Amino acid sequence: MIDFHAMAASTAAFVQQHQALTPLVVFALAFGESLAVVSLFFPATVLMLAIGGVMEAAGIHFWPVWAAAAAGAVLGDSVSYWIGFRYKDEARQLWPLSRRPDLVARGEAFFHRFGVWSIALGRFFGPVRAVVPLIAGILAMRQLPFQVANVASALVWAFALLAPGAVLIKGLGW
């Protein structure tokens, strides 16, 4: 079992000690959180909220880290889309999707219900986040609408995860 509290504490301590690496760490977390299926096993949301607070307490500039988080999220969803586009229905047979057809079905229903908006909305909703870009690729969603929704939602998502911790720490005067 993964100890999320310990993972968040150790990641926050690493960021505190290695401030110059913060954009790289956040990029990797956002990429993993946005990569199809990997995000199921990757607790980046909690880590990024904690890092937002550490950044404020340590005086790390917000905007470069925000840009790194957005870039990681864009790349993760883009790779997921490409895998779906390239492998089509074969992607559904890959582990662990082959063992979780319910997850694929929910992602597909979400995509059909919301269309291009599913890319933006899916980024904010746990289980479908892991499959919506993959489903968009499998169903051959056009690249331009996908990327517009991908980039726009990544910018908002990165801010929504990093800013609360920073605001909380600033508000507490730490």
Residue type, 56: E
Are the beta carbons of 52 and 107 closer than 8 angstroms?
no
The number of residues making up the chain comes to 174
pLDDT digits (tens, 9 = 90+) for 4-61: 567 667 777 777 788 889 999 999 999 999 998 787 777 788 888 888 888 887 888 9
Span 110-122, average pLDDT: 93
The 10s digit of each residue's pLDDT in 67-85 is 999 999 999 999 999 999 9
What pLDDT is stored for residue 64 in this prediction?
Answer: 96
